[in-house]
Structure 1
């Protein structure tokens, strides 16, 4: 453990299982069983000059990991910029830069949250939770990626489809407007096309339908990961399971399946 400056703490997240605080220019977070893997990933990103991720500085005297802070808006404040078309494009471009930066990192020497099988050829370490809340925004520009706890080896498209679930979004119109800050009912296929193009994928209408199918596949994969973490006793997944909250995952998958089969927005 290292000695780090102390001072007033600004609480960034405080729930029964995790308290995250900011002290000066650092963020202090509790360690997880997979933290060593995440720290190696962050060290790699720093080494290749990827500036949009925190730097791992060490472990403080209270046993918390210490990361550099990235100034900007995050958490619930990320929904509005991600709903904006410019924010949507910028988010896709940032994800592509991350995948390019992580391409040379070997995931096989580490254990990742929810990992069930060894990394396959062609996998990269996906962020695993690449949603608007885990980005740091300045206006409609995401300037940082935070919270790598669920990083794990998967094909890069897993991150693309995970993000699309939340930014297309694969939610009904009422939730998209009320909670996700869309100005009106979103054209999900058109937004999927915008994100894909900004990321660097090509394929027109066929690609969009492929990504719609991919969103459902990643929803199932993430649901399985959540159940595994709960069964292993990890929090907050264990409490989610006990409270019946994981039933919502099945409902979301069912909504996406219905959208894939009956969605009428078309491609434009």
Structure 2
């Protein structure tokens, strides 16, 4: 990982017309200023900037562009109009296949690249629908790249499949969830049914473990600890749903 070049410092733009945006729970400030988004920098910001610059260079259309760092020390990214979604009724036909294809392209474009280190590829790390911009019901870009890192395709795909297709809340029939899972997997490419469902369960367990630890970490704010408790409850309920309907999900993936 290399530091940002000096020419990427962007000065002279103030927040006189800034608009707060819903950001990640580990990001202090996320605001829109004109056609840009300004985000507080963290320990992995330089790496994320390198990833975004690489994706721009190779023509990956499904990520914001990193424009530099402003004079307040924040990352400057292109603003991507659209919305996020939290229910299938907000998505158009083909949305799940498109999300899978977007993730597959990211993995293919970073496989073997130095940014992937000794791992399979660069993973987004948090490609849920809450980090995906949708227009006319179809996903167009992943945002919030603060969790991107060297990793394994199947872990990223398992998280995408879980957060896009499996939900205890929202009164989504399990048959519909299974169909969405099949569509997303087909959009990504051929992955064995058993391996994908195992990856979903593994990612749910990871969130339970990681957020469970944060829920008791007194170094974090009370708000962040409360979010951690909510995340544990969410992942626990969805994991129970997958285990309860595992045979149905596997059957849908094998058709």
TM-score range, shorter chain: 0.7 to 0.9
Rounded to whole Å, the distance in 2 between the matches of 1:199 and 1:132 is 16
Residue by residue, what CA displacement relative to the aligned partner does 1:107-133 show, whole Å, maximum 9, x if unpaired? 36xxxxxxxxxx544x21110111112
Asked if 1 retains the 8 angstrom alpha-carbon contact of 2:193 and 2:250, the reply is: no
Q: CA RMSD in A?
A: 3.2
1:132 equivalent to 2:133? Answer no
Give ranges in structure 2 of 5+ residues lacking alignment: 1-8
Rounded to whole Å, the distance in 1 between the matches of 2:115 and 2:218 is 24
Q: Determine the structure 2 residue equivalent to 1:197.
A: 186
Structure 2 residue matching 1:187: 3-state secondary structure: helix
Relative to structure 1, the CA distance from residue 47 to residue 232 in structure 2 (aligned partners, 3 Å threshold; closer, same or farther) is farther
Q: Determine the structure 2 residue equivalent to 1:162.
A: 159
Rounded to whole Å, the distance in 2 between the matches of 1:163 and 1:124 is 16
Q: 1:224 Cα shift?
A: 3.9
Structure 1 residue matching 2:154: 3-state secondary structure: helix
Structure 2 residue matching 1:13: 3-state secondary structure: coil
Q: Determine the structure 2 residue equivalent to 1:106.
A: 114
Residue by residue, what CA displacement relative to the aligned partner does 1:106-159 show, whole Å, maximum 9, x if unpaired? 236xxxxxxxxxx544x2111011111211111132221110111122211112
Structure 2 residue matching 1:143: 3-state secondary structure: strand
Give the count of matched residue pairs: 242
Q: 1:259 Cα shift?
A: 3.0
1:40 equivalent to 2:50? Answer yes
Q: Determine the structure 2 residue equivalent to 1:51.
A: 61
1:73 equivalent to 2:70? Answer no
Q: Determine the structure 2 residue equivalent to 1:218.
A: 203
Rounded to whole Å, the distance in 2 between the matches of 1:264 and 1:34 is 36
The two structures have a TM-score, normalised by structure 1, of 0.76
1:30 equivalent to 2:27? Answer no
Q: Determine the structure 2 residue equivalent to 1:176.
A: 170
Give ranges in structure 1 of 5+ residues lacking alignment: 109-118
Q: Determine the structure 2 residue equivalent to 1:10.
A: 19
3-12 or 34-43, which moves further after superposition? 3-12
What is the aligned counterpart of 1:240 among 225, 229, 243?
A: 225
